[in-house]
């Protein structure tokens, strides 16, 4: 099977982006899962946090499906949607389009640069729900805001929300990555509470409307950034740490930074704004039955990667 793809990232949460509309035939779900397992592996494969599949849609300009590196499909992917937004916007020549995702048709658009020289895209993160049943999370109350989950740790509290993929968020003064990994692993081995798994984020407030977020992602593990988690964390920071809605919250992460604008009009909605960087474009010859592939490189996007390095250096200098 011949598969052209673009290696891309949002805040260094990296993906292989495959336009299925350009393949001889669309893939089956088994093939998407097999491709994710084969290609995302960082030792034996190409290495990435997941695969973004672009399909045609009868509801929007295009449709995105996202598979995690463990082969599971997620309802939504914020950093990935920015990459798909760029691809579809550049393809259509329009500045604002709609993209179908599993749970919603979402507006995406090109917006003002988040950092000099960085083409920036904004994606809508919705629907948002604080009802535990939407994650799903088996819990005694309808909501879980700042609750202790003793099966995870007795040192922290968590807030649960779906955006619409499932997240729990803990606001802490400081944290070690190892603690996040331990808690994330436990949460994803607790089917009695989180039957579908859950993304776990630790949030460190830095200043007013500025936070640092890191996430243990369901289906992946620790990542440099997770767009839906940064959106969920921004909502939680409004709810429990006094950050302001309707104005950007700058979210620093291990791979860079984004802006999240939390809107509330009866329900929460977030505008997630950040980079959508192409690393390189290449072509694959894949044989799924023998679990093998060959890769031929076509085009490295050197200039934009150099510009992204400047953003990364700046973000690092702002600390965590």
Ligand X SMILES: N[C@@H](CCC[C@H](N)C(=O)O)C(=O)O
Does residue 8 have an active-site annotation? no
Q: Cβ-closest residue to ligand X?
A: 227
- Taking the least distance from each CB to ligand X, the nearer of 191 and 242 is 191
| Given 40, 77, 83, 260, the catalytic residue | 77
Does residue 226 have an active-site annotation? yes
Residue 223: Cβ within 10 Å count = 23
- CA-based end-to-end distance of the chain: 43
Q: Is 246 annotated as a binding residue?
A: no
Q: How far is the CB of 274 from ligand X (least distance, A)?
A: 10
Q: Is 277 annotated as a binding residue?
A: no
Residue 309: Cβ within 10 Å count = 11
Q: How far is the CB of 218 from ligand X (least distance, A)?
A: 4
| Given 8, 40, 83, 226, the catalytic residue | 226
Establish how many alpha carbons lie within 13 A of residue 267's alpha carbon, considering only the half-sphere containing its beta carbon: 12
- Taking the least distance from each CB to ligand X, the nearer of 174 and 183 is 183
Phi, psi of 9 (to 5 degrees): -155, 155
- Taking the least distance from each CB to ligand X, the nearer of 219 and 299 is 219
Q: Is 117 annotated as a binding residue?
A: no
- Exposure b/e, 80-118, CB count within 10 A at least 16 = b: bbbbbbbbbbeeeeeeebbbbbeebebbbbbbeebbeeb
The residues that touch ligand X, with contacts defined as CB under 6 A, are 13, 66, 68, 74, 77-80, 165, 199, 217-220, 226-228
Residue 307: Cβ within 10 Å count = 18
In the block, which residue shows the tokens 């535990």? Answer: 132
Q: Is 131 annotated as a binding residue?
A: no
**Binding-site annotation, residues:** 13, 68, 78-79, 165, 199, 217-218, 227-228
**Binding-site annotation, residues for substrate:** 13, 68, 78-79, 165, 199, 217-218, 227-228
Q: Which residues are catalytic?
A: 77, 226
């Amino acid at each position: 099977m011949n598969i052209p793809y673009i290696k891309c990232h949002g805040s260094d949460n990296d993906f292989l982006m495959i336009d299925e509309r350009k393949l001889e035939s669309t893939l089956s779900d088994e093939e998407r899962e097999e491709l994710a397992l084969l290609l995302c592996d960082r030792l034996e494969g190409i290495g990435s946090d997941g695969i973004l599949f672009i399909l045609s849609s009868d509801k929007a300009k295009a449709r995105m499906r996202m598979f995690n590196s463990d082969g599971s499909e997620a309802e939504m992917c914020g950093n990935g949607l920015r990459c798909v937004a760029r691809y579809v916007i550049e393809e259509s020549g329009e500045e604002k389009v709609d993209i179908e995702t599993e749970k919603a048709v979402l507006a995406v658009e090109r917006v003002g640069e988040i950092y000099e020289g960085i083409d920036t895209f904004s994606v809508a993160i919705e629907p948002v729900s604080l009802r535990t049943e939407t994650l799903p999370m088996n819990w005694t109350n309808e909501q879980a805001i700042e609750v202790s989950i003793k099966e995870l740790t007795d040192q922290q509290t968590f807030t649960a929300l779906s955006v619409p993929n499932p997240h729990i968020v803990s606001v802490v003064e400081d944290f070690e990555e190892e603690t996040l990994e331990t808690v994330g692993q436990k949460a994803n081995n607790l089917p009695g509470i989180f039957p579908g798994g859950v993304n776990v984020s630790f949030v460190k407030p830095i200043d007013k409307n500025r936070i640092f977020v890191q996430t243990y992602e369901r289906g992946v593990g620790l990542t440099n950034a997770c767009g839906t988690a940064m959106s969920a964390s921004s909502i939680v920071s409004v709810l429990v740490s006094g950050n302001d809605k309707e104005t950007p919250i700058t979210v620093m992460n291990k791979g860079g930074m984004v802006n999240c604008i939390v809107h509330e009009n009866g329900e929460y909605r977030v505008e997630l704004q950040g980079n959508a960087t192409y690393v390189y474009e290449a072509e694959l010859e894949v044989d799924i039955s023998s679990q093998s592939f060959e890769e031929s490189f076509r085009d490295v996007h050197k200039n934009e990667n150099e510009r992204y390095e400047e953003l990364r250096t700046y973000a690092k200098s702002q600390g965590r």
